[in-house]
Amino acid sequence: NLSALSLLQFPFGRRLPCDIYWHGVSFHDSNIFSGQVNKFPGMTETVRKITLSRAMRTMRDLFPLEYNFYPRSWILPEELPLFVAEVRTMKDSNPSWKPTFIVKPDGGCQGDGIYLIKDPSDIRLTGSIQSRPAVVQEYICKPLLVDKLKFDIRLYVLLKSLEPLEIYIAKDGLSRFCTEPYQEPTLKNLHQVFMHLTNYSLNIHSGNFIHSASANTGSKRTFSSILCRLSSRGADVKKLWSDIISLVIKTIIALTPELKVYYQSDIPAGKPGPTCFQILGFDILLMKDLKPVLLEVNANPSMRIEHEQELSPGVFENVPSPVDEKVKVAVIRDTLRLMDPQKKKRKDTQLIYDYSYLSLHHCKKCCYSQSSMKDKQHKHHSLKLSLKLKFYLKRGLCQSPERAPGASEEPLDAVPGPEAALPSLCLKQVFPKYARHFSYLRLVDRVAALFIRFLGVKGTTKLGPTGFRTFIRNCKLSNSNFSMAAVDILYIDITRRWNSMGIDHKESGMCLQAFVEAFFCLAQKKYKALPLHKQVLSLLELCECRLAAVHGKRLVWGCG
């Protein structure tokens, strides 16, 4: 029950600025200049399958053992020849190896366009592979089964802040089950989606799908019920949770460099603007040995707490889903508690909360409308809160009524019920709490900081040739063996190749991934005897030291 949050809604927004804005899809749903927004700019692009796979590959190149939780991936169509060659090589070296691969369209969701193959020649090149690129990955053939069914886990992760990095993980999640008993892939069962694909949006159409009011049964259960079952069998549940936390932190570390580039583009440093937070959906598969494997990250995980039920042919009604409600309402409620900017000054300050067409006021003893604020008369009302939109929160929150045409911009009158102690937070902080175990992985973050430093023009996400040359000069990386002409050739070659992949044609120049490749190339040239992560670390320390010296000289000149 969210009545203790004392929230009041403005379903159609308001003219005055708000403290928190809740967007449905992306940061750019509306123009925001202050407060907090529940979306990061660029998050949708950053977690797309191709971008995520590239980020994970970069981290795997640096730290192979730490990033072995993501399946080997190839980008289609540009890496199709590489995929064919590597599979052929692996089969030649191990004739008994009989792999299965899964093909996922880059922009697909809810299982759309996903299919399994046994050989690279089975990839469906007919159609729109050029216009709709995809990722092909090794398929996990030996997953953990419960009741002979394959399942995955949806965990909710709150990225509370990018700088400094702050991550929370929900203590419970959802387990989504297939609806046909699992068998390892064969040519005969490759196309049985209800056996191999765990997507809820697919399996709900199966005749075997079970809607259950219990968290322990049915085709969608709580993750905690699975943990209890594993624990009763003697499994080390604490180690499993530790591995999952590690997976989440490492994945966020892989994503933050790209996010920071988008962030500085939309919200330049030193200028007033909103701060951001976002709830992400992590889809994780458990292998037989309980090793967690990352499937994908969702920027806009569904927060519905009901499902459609067909009463008669063509007639549907929305039915509450207790399992969804138990997990999702707690995640939203506690996200609001964590993001409340006034919680330390609750006695003195009003909280205004807006979801584009939903704004909320917060007061210590009651909620009140703008008009009542002027005459300092507090009115008591019943709580009505609609989070992202009416389907949610039918238990702790109510659907807001429609505003009559021409009605004033006053908020819906609402006030909390009796003061009640809120339950303990369902969101657990994992970063910076465990930062000392993972900070050494943040090398690409530091490379991205160099990239952003030399972008020059605010609002851009690509580095021009002048900016790249300035980076080389200021860090003193050119010499007799690596002339500025060679610098220009390196820039042109890498930039041209990345631009040919169709990453982003809105701007010309070198994207972050291309800069990272160039930086790795420079590190390998300069420190040939070291492993890659030490090469990159050595070059980073050199660049940061020389840039600090340049900055120090400028300060001295300025004082002079």
Q: From CA 357, how far away is CA 370, in angstroms rounded? A: 17
List, as one string, the DSSP characters of 319-381.
EE-HHHHHHHHHHHHHHHHHH-TTGGGTTT--EEEE-SS-EEEE-SS----HHHHHTT-----
Contacts of 286 (CB under 8 A, 6+ apart): 143, 144, 153, 240, 292, 293
In terms of pLDDT, which residue wins out, 10 or 469? 469
Confidence at residue 488, expressed as pLDDT on a 0 to 100 scale: 94
First to last CA, the chain: 62
Q: From CA 263, how far away is CA 449, in angstroms rounded? A: 12
Taken in order 191, 152, 60, 160, the sign of the CA dihedral is positive
Helix/strand/coil (H, E, C) string of 97-135?
A: CCCCEEEEECCCCCCCCCEEECCHHHCCCCCCCCCCCEE
Q: Does domain 442-555 have CATH number 3.40.50?
A: no
**Nearest one of 179, 175, 176 to 208, comparing CA atoms:** 179
- pLDDT higher than 70, residue 393: no
Any long-range contacts for 455-460 (C-beta under 8 Å, 24+ apart)? 455/264, 458/264, 458/265, 458/268, 459/265, 459/266, 459/268, 460/265, 460/507, 460/509
Mean pLDDT of the region 41-45: 93
**Tens-place pLDDT, residues 382-391:** 333 333 333 3
Contacts of 307 (CB under 8 A, 6+ apart): 204, 211, 318, 319, 321, 324
Mean pLDDT of the region 468-494: 93
Tell me the residue length of the chain: 560
**Tens-place pLDDT, residues 499-556:** 887 655 567 899 999 999 999 999 999 999 899 999 999 999 999 999 998 776 655 5
Q: How far is residue 262 from each of residues 183, 393, 507, measured CA to CA in Å?
A: 43, 32, 13
3-class DSSP state for residue 463? strand
- pLDDT higher than 90, residue 167: yes
In terms of pLDDT, which residue wins out, 422 or 77? 77
- Greatest mean pLDDT range, 126-140, 336-350, 414-428: 126-140
**Which part of the chain has CATH 1.10.238?**
442-555
Q: Report whether 385 contacts 391 (CB < 8 A).
A: no
Which two three-digit tokens encode residue 149? Answer: 């069914």
Task: Find residue 489's DSSP bridge partners.
Answer: none
Residue 509's identity, in one-letter code, is G
CATH topology of domain 43-71+140-342: D-amino Acid Aminotransferase; Chain A, domain 1 (3.30.470)
Confidence at residue 19, expressed as pLDDT on a 0 to 100 scale: 77
- pLDDT higher than 90, residue 161: yes
Which two three-digit tokens encode residue 472? Answer: 């080389």
Task: Find residue 5's DSSP bridge partners.
Answer: none
Q: Report whether 416 contacts 331 (CB < 8 A).
A: no
Which two three-digit tokens encode residue 62? Answer: 């640096």
Mean pLDDT of the region 30-42: 83
Confidence at residue 370, expressed as pLDDT on a 0 to 100 scale: 33
- Which helix or strand (DSSP H or E) is residue 20 part of? strand 20-21
The answer to pTM > 0.95 is: no
Q: Report whether 470 contacts 455 (CB < 8 A).
A: no
Please state whether the peptide bond connecting residue 401 to the residue before it is cis, i.e. omega within 30 degrees of 0.
Answer: no
- Greatest mean pLDDT range, 60-64, 345-349, 418-422: 60-64
| Phi then psi dihedrals of residue 518, to 5 deg | -65, -40
Which two three-digit tokens encode residue 461? Answer: 């996400």
Give the range among 52-61, 340-349, 522-531 with minimum mean pLDDT: 340-349
Q: Report whether 51 contacts 502 (CB < 8 A).
A: no
Q: From CA 5, how far away is CA 337, in angstroms rounded? A: 8
Confidence at residue 558, expressed as pLDDT on a 0 to 100 scale: 52
Which two three-digit tokens encode residue 108? Answer: 């697909």
